[in-house]
Amino acid sequence: MAKHLELGKQGEHLAKAYLEEKGYEILDENWTFGKLEVDLIALMDRVLIFIEVKTRTGNFFGEPEDFVDTRKQGLLIMAADEYIYLMEHKGDIRFDIVSVLFDKKNNFTIKHIEDAFWPTGN
């Protein structure tokens, strides 16, 4: 497996453990619809949460969460629409980002951004 894919999987594993520790119920991991993918789908206080995990080994080019651009947000929203339809979810939803940043000593920090973006209706 390529190093960046291994790093991404490691970040997703850390994000999942972090969220579970905070009381989130993880419903799905790496849920796909066609070519679309949502890293984690969770439930907390009856809110369905679609979570994008971004992992980096440095922030020279920006923080990990900066890489969830409007194109990526649109893809997540399309995947979420299908998930909501398939699961017949009628309640609240939100989109979160969890960023995992490793330093040169392999220590990491996790930043959880709740309500990171919202569908614009375009």
pLDDT digits (tens, 9 = 90+) for 34-64: 999 999 999 999 999 999 999 988 777 778 7
d(CA 59, CA 39): 21
Stretch 58-84: mean pLDDT, rounded? 89
Query: What pLDDT digit, counting tens, does each position of 27-41 carry?
Result: 999 999 999 999 999
Structural domains in the chain?
3-117 (3.40.1350.10)
